[in-house]
Structure 1
Amino acid sequence: MRPDKSRTQSGILIIHPEGNSFNNPTLKSLIDLFVSLGIPVDLRYGVSDAPMPAGYDGVKLLPYGKFHKFIRAVILENLCFIPLIGLVVALDDLLLYGNYRLVLGVDREGLIQAGLLHRMKKIPYVFLSFEIQFGDETSRRFKAPEIKASRDAAAWLVQDEVRARLLVEENKLDPVKKIVLPLASVGHAEASSSRLRDRLGIPNEKKVAITLGSITAWSMAADIIKSATSWPEDWVLIVHDRYGKTSRRLQDILPAIEPYLNNKIYISDEASLMVDDLGNILAGVSVGLAFYRPVWDCPSSGKNIQYLGLASGKISTYLRYGIPVIVNEIGLYAEEAQKHRFGLAVEDADRIGSRLDEVDRPSYRENAKRYFRETLDFKLHEDKILNCLKENKAL
């Protein structure tokens, strides 16, 4: 069936292969901005573990399944053969796409497809970078289509100046077209009266720290769990995977987890549909934990983690709810936390327990809210996006 051209005549296409658009603070905020402006959004994405809404006003979902995702990965990551990639994009255009004002290509695969659509149909496109693929961790052949697609991007979005400099070097991007956009949602959020900690049976007298997001080796979840066994008596830990797969994920990184599952550690297998739905997860939480460590087994977890910058959605989410943080000494947030006193940086997870009471203070909570309000809030940066839309005749 051919696409409904009338619906998408003045819409925006977002190509996001990872498929967690509604769990990404920036993408969710961008989608809501476009919809609020009356601009329809078509979202092309790969099916993943990330929950997706069955319907969302103003957004047309265009998913592809795991087999299709595998085939695309072979073409884009292994073969890196541009004509074959072009055939995939042409088929998508023929069968699914309409006529768009603008295309947003997310990360390498989305960027390459957006660039090819531009060559086919002269649609302006913007590159959104959340992960950086480094040439010395991949290959010249792997980087070539990404660099080529970077040339004609109307603008490119990145979380901070550190990652911007790296992208300029790796993708030969034009620095003049840069838009710095923190990875953050819109506005301060309030905790819910319904609390995950109560559903898990955590006594009211206990103080709660939480680690949420990806449960992987690079997020140091195993290190945090092990450290919690020696925390002060009145502190407990919630472990919460962003997609509700906590128990399964923990088996991958900590198979012998049973000795750690005592009255200090609580496992949450709940899942929030969208990043804005975390009020009940974070209600009654005193401290947010965010640790990162490069793992050199794939291009997205090596230098991409080493040069984290401000590319942490979990930290910005904690601050949005006024929750102070303890982080390890990596990325710009470690410096910002101590400078603006919304959290503390420690050398390793073993130091968490000795600093929990120090960071659990009203002043840190107020500083967390202030830093989000004055630095991160998507609303602060909305004009940059509106100007980009106007310059590309998308408004």
Structure 2
Amino acid sequence: MKKVLVIHGEGNTFNNPSLKAIIDLLGSRGYQCHIRYASSPAPMPSYPNIVQLPYGWFLRKVKRWTYDRLCSRWLARLFVSIEDIAIYPEFDLILAVDRLGLIEAAILSKRHGTPFVFISFEIMFADETSRRFKRIERLSARNCCFWIVQDEVRAACLVEENALDIENSFILPLASAGPGVFPAMRLRDQMGIPKNYSVAVLIGSLTTWSMAKETIESVRDWPPDWALLVHERYGNTESALNRLGVSAHELSDRIYFSGQAPDRVDDLGYVLEGVSAGLAFYRPTHDSIYTGKNLEYLGFASGKVSTYLRYGIPVICNEIGLYAQQVRAHDFGVVVAHPSQIAQALPLTSEPTTMSPSRYFADFLDFNLRSSELLHRFEQCMAAPCGCEPPSSIEDRICAD
């Protein structure tokens, strides 16, 4: 059995549509996936052909400090070498997710000659970090077999920020495999939402950048036969709202708060059954390296939008770039300037459209559209010798810590 190492520092692998689909694809072909991740609130269920390799909060902090503050390649090599000796078997391929995965995969690749693929979901920009911060990424990325990104907009950003070759990219929208499946039970009934109400849903992160507070406050202006279902991605809805200064007990009786936490992104049919509109708002706040240009150039990196479309739910969003353009071009939702305009948009979601949301998903986003080609690229990497340069290369010496 061939082994694949997935290095995913965020620790929410089964809540990421693309990662979940990639792991399913590899598992269906007989590969065993080992997932190295930091423990987090995200569920990590047991799964066939999956070996979980979690680590705790202390090591997570040490890694973040080393990679993001010190940006020390020497210390990174030391930590990864210790982990390599202590816990890792030999692997046939490494999937490096985002910055932490990229740094560690490059080190393991040099130690063993194992090919690695870089998968980008979050883009760090030099003018929001530092040259030193980006240097360790650029040096780590230079020997990846190929790299995966969600669209051409984000691909252009990575070419600029990580000195990657556009010819070596693989476009994969952040989306699950196949149409959504609805179970017999639905959350709206469990929550006691009247059957004669239409329901709009807000899923995912409840934060300032997702404009959750403004979205919830807009309900007072909604048509009287509409309700809002709020579902924080890990079931921590009430605590997330408290951090935003939103008191669940002082809001309209047409707002319902879910405490459910499905183990996998593919289990959201229970939450989304009987929903008539999906809300997706993004606002760059520039209060962290994740919420500035990374959101400005969102592209097709919105898991909540693709999930709504997968389940055939029209989308109401603001000006978020590619998805807003696609909503207008294919008429599977409504674009507004601000959540305060949701009230006017809700009735429009029931009108006939040029293309249904599920049709758009099937034609443009479905992971299965690209799965065969992606598997072929993985197998090509494993069949070819790794192109890693020796650690003593001139560039390494020039850029040494």
TM-score by length of 2: 0.94
| Corresponding residue for residue 117 of structure 2 | 126
| Corresponding residue for residue 214 of structure 2 | 223
Q: How far apart in 2 are the matches of 1:331 and 1:148?
A: 30
Q: How far apart in 2 are the matches of 1:322 and 1:255?
A: 30
Q: How far apart in 1 are the matches of 2:154 and 2:95?
A: 19
Q: How far apart in 2 are the matches of 1:362 and 1:190?
A: 23
2:43 and 2:264 in contact (8 A); partners too: yes
- SS of aligned partner of 2:148: strand
| Corresponding residue for residue 373 of structure 2 | 384
Deviations 1:314-354 (A, max 9, x none): 00001000011001011210010111111111011011111
Q: How far apart in 2 are the matches of 1:334 and 1:191?
A: 26
Corresponding letter in the other structure for 2:340: D
After TM superposition, the structure 1 = structure 2 runs for residues 322-333 of structure 1, keeping only pairs within 5 Å, are 322-333=312-323
| Corresponding residue for residue 41 of structure 1 | 33
1:198 maps to 2:174:
no
Q: How far apart in 2 are the matches of 1:312 and 1:360?
A: 23
TM-score by length of 1: 0.95
| Corresponding residue for residue 347 of structure 1 | 337
Q: How far apart in 2 are the matches of 1:12 and 1:394?
A: 14
| Corresponding residue for residue 20 of structure 1 | 12
After TM superposition, the structure 1 = structure 2 runs for residues 349-368 of structure 1, keeping only pairs within 5 Å, are 349-361=339-351, 363=353, 367-368=356-357
Residue of structure 1 aligned with 2:178, choices 173, 183, 187: 187
Cα deviation, residue 390, structure 1: 2.5
1:17 and 1:106 in contact (8 A); partners too: yes
After TM superposition, the structure 1 = structure 2 runs for residues 79-98 of structure 1, keeping only pairs within 5 Å, are 79-98=70-89
| Corresponding residue for residue 142 of structure 2 | 151
Deviations 1:350-375 (A, max 9, x none): 111111011124647x6101111111
Cα deviation, residue 130, structure 1: 0.3
Q: How far apart in 1 are the matches of 2:351 and 2:279?
A: 15
Cα deviation, residue 394, structure 1: 5.5
Q: How far apart in 1 are the matches of 2:100 and 2:373?
A: 24
2:241 and 2:247 in contact (8 A); partners too: no
Residue of structure 2 aligned with 1:295, choices 266, 285, 302: 285
1:67 maps to 2:95:
no
Name segments (4+ residues, structure 1) moved above 4 Å.
none
* TM-aligned CA distance change 1:298 to 1:185, over 3 Å: same
Corresponding letter in the other structure for 1:153: C
Residue of structure 1 aligned with 2:103, choices 112, 115, 131: 112
Deviations 1:89-129 (A, max 9, x none): 11111111111111010000100100111111111100000
2:152 and 2:171 in contact (8 A); partners too: yes
1:247 maps to 2:238:
yes
- SS of aligned partner of 2:174: coil
Cα deviation, residue 387, structure 1: 2.2
Cα deviation, residue 264, structure 1: 1.7
- SS of aligned partner of 1:267: strand
Corresponding letter in the other structure for 2:313: I
Residue of structure 2 aligned with 1:320, choices 307, 310, 318: 310
| Corresponding residue for residue 236 of structure 1 | 227
1:280 maps to 2:263:
no
2:125 and 2:293 in contact (8 A); partners too: yes
Residue range with higher mean Cα deviation, 242-251 or 381-390? 381-390
1:102 and 1:394 in contact (8 A); partners too: no
Residue of structure 1 aligned with 2:47, choices 46, 56, 76: 56
1:101 and 1:394 in contact (8 A); partners too: no
RMSD over equivalenced CA pairs, Å? 1.3
- SS of aligned partner of 1:62: strand
Q: Percent identity?
A: 47
* TM-aligned CA distance change 1:362 to 1:187, over 3 Å: farther
Q: How far apart in 1 are the matches of 2:319 and 2:219?
A: 19
1:208 maps to 2:192:
no
- SS of aligned partner of 2:231: strand
1:335 maps to 2:325:
yes
| Corresponding residue for residue 4 of structure 1 | none
Q: How far apart in 1 are the matches of 2:5 and 2:352?
A: 43
Cα deviation, residue 257, structure 1: 4.8
1:344 and 1:359 in contact (8 A); partners too: yes
Q: How far apart in 2 are the matches of 1:73 and 1:209?
A: 37
Q: How far apart in 2 are the matches of 1:303 and 1:363?
A: 32
- SS of aligned partner of 1:229: helix
| Corresponding residue for residue 395 of structure 2 | none
1:103 and 1:124 in contact (8 A); partners too: yes
Deviations 1:15-66 (A, max 9, x none): 000000000000000000000000111000010111110x210010000011
